Structure 1
Amino acid sequence: MSLAISKRLEGKTILITGASSGIGRSTAFEFARTAPKNLKLILTARRVDKLHQIAADIQKEVGDGVQVLPVQLDVSKPDEVREFVGKLPEEFKDIDVLVNNAGLSRGVARAPEIAEEDMNIMFDTNVTGLINMTQAILPIMLRRNNGEGAGDIINLGSIAGREPYVGGSIYCATKAAVKSFTESLRKELISTRIRVIEIDPGQVETEFSIVRYYGDKNKADAVYAGVTPLTPDDIAEIIVFAAGRKENVVIADLLVFPNHQASATIMHRRPT
């Protein structure tokens, strides 16, 4: 990353949800490497032990210039989100960038066979959780500049929110909701200096498919057979790029594919 981006990010406090693995984990490292001299990172996830390991690894790599606060948080639980800001140490409460990354997919069932439990966890995490986190952090951003506000809200969407596909109706619906919420929020905040950004990845190899197939690694691995998917690092680089633009530049809506993908369902697979 350039020196200009590093300077723009210095002194900021970054909050990343779903930071224990995948895109969230990579984003934490990318921010730390980009602005290693003066940065605060708040990393949240359900698996707090993994967050502590990430914090230790970041400190080992970049030194004491990056302060990392691991916080156990399940964004699907409204009470936990509601209490989140009040429990933060004072020096971490002035959040500049919110990366709403936490999300998941469960199952590939079609109606009328979709499990209610799977529907609930996807909506509670991907939609309600994201909205609740945004509402918890937004007042902090609005208080800046005598009410004019400042800060970045970066929502992780998906190609699934633009193009529904068979076996993904609920997940696609949640990501479509994220897109609608993001676009409405951007319009609602147009009189402020708060940037609202959505990044929609195509196929990325993370724990996503393992979760979708209830831990069946063979089925998860088959998703990536014959292709070279994006990595979490690829998306992390884009997130940090968006946060590091000049104040008047908004990466409002960005769709990113791996080379083999042209849509949610059109991919070229090499023989295996």
Structure 2
Amino acid sequence: MLALVTGASSGFGYAISQALIQQGYRVIGAARRLDKLQQMQAELGTAFFPLCLDVTASHQQLATALNTLPPEFSLSHVSVLVNNAGLALGLDAADTANLDEWQTMLDTNIKGLMNMSRLVLPHMVEKKTGIIINLGSIAGTYPYPGGNVYGATKAFVAQFSLNLRADLAGTGVRVTNIEPGLCGGTEFSVVRFHGNADKAQQLYQNTAPLLPEDIANTVAWIVSQPAHVNINRIELMPTSQSFNPLKVTPTASH
């Protein structure tokens, strides 16, 4: 059994790779930081293959990288694809947000996920088996100030996952969208706040957030289900996170 995990060098990707190897999978860990991947290989052993890959690269560049894998890790053997690579940048309102950051989120969270799925799917369909697991977010369902494009990208992931299910009916290929809420123990908020670790840490004070291991356990459970069971979507939050009343603002006087 072979899995391909994007964004594997830290956070969710690291924990997912570790959990899958514990379940008997070999894992291709794809990420931009080769040094981190090599450290993982030293820890996880020969079942882990480090692949230096940026999902925002062109479709052709991604195809070249994936088609030059060693025979034992070839794309044709991949039975699980975990589209984990993704990011949020900034928390500014739409009228002041950085357009370049919006574009980066689109390139990573949407185009990267699309390209990786399109490259792996033909092999799964040919074998009539496989699982695609997309890492979405509750931000794709519940809007919040400053979530503008990030939330929109995760709404895309939710709908794309459902549409893949429709396209793949009868092929034996399964698709799941995992939608976590507040998560700690990752680089997500540090990246969002441009390296400001103190600001990121403030989000998690006294919250007991979800951890990478919780998401990894969810992935491990999904892939352990029998072939006739498809988990369409899973939404999970820490117990400390819930829902707020809809905001009502005073009407501006004229």
* Fold match (TM-score > 0.5): yes
How far off its partner does 1:55 sit? 1.2
Q: Which amino acid aligns with 1:53?
A: Q
Farther off after superposition, 121-130 or 82-91: 82-91
CA contact (8 A) 2:5 2:84 kept: yes
Q: Which amino acid aligns with 2:130?
A: G
- Measured in 1, the distance between the counterparts of 2:126 and 2:21 equals 26
How far off its partner does 1:86 sit? 1.2
Q: Deviations over 1:204-258 (max 9, x none)?
A: 1111000000000111001101210010001100011101111111111100111
CA contact (8 A) 1:16 1:99 kept: yes
How far off its partner does 1:264 sit? 8.3
Q: Secondary structure at the match of 1:152?
A: strand
Q: Which amino acid aligns with 2:62?
A: V
- Measured in 2, the distance between the counterparts of 1:248 and 1:263 equals 34
- Tell me the residue number matched to 1:14: 3
Which of 227, 231, 234 aligns to 2:214? It is 234
Q: Does 1:140 align with 2:123?
A: yes
- Tell me the residue number matched to 2:21: 32
How far off its partner does 1:263 sit? 3.8
- Measured in 2, the distance between the counterparts of 1:203 and 1:250 equals 25
Q: Which amino acid aligns with 2:23?
A: T
Q: Which amino acid aligns with 1:117?
A: D
- Measured in 2, the distance between the counterparts of 1:255 and 1:164 equals 15
CA contact (8 A) 1:42 1:68 kept: yes
- Measured in 1, the distance between the counterparts of 2:47 and 2:7 equals 18
CA contact (8 A) 2:80 2:130 kept: yes
Q: Which amino acid aligns with 1:17?
A: T
Q: Does 1:44 align with 2:30?
A: yes
- Tell me the residue number matched to 1:179: 158
- Tell me the residue number matched to 1:116: 99
- Measured in 1, the distance between the counterparts of 2:63 and 2:141 equals 30
- Tell me the residue number matched to 2:182: 203
How far off its partner does 1:85 sit? 2.3
- Measured in 2, the distance between the counterparts of 1:134 and 1:244 equals 21
What stretches of structure 1 of length at least 5 have no aligned partner?
Answer: 1-11, 60-65, 267-272
- The TM-score with structure 2 as length reference comes to 0.92
- Dislocated runs of 4+, deviation >3 Å: 263-266
What is the RMSD of the two structures over their aligned residues, measured on CA atoms? 1.4
What stretches of structure 2 of length at least 5 have no aligned partner?
Answer: 247-254
- Measured in 2, the distance between the counterparts of 1:116 and 1:265 equals 30
- Tell me the residue number matched to 1:255: 235
- Measured in 1, the distance between the counterparts of 2:226 and 2:108 equals 31
Q: Does 1:83 align with 2:69?
A: no
Which of 97, 104, 111 aligns to 2:87? It is 104
Q: 1:169 to 1:72 in 2, by over 3 A?
A: same
- The TM-score with structure 1 as length reference comes to 0.86
The aligned length equals 242
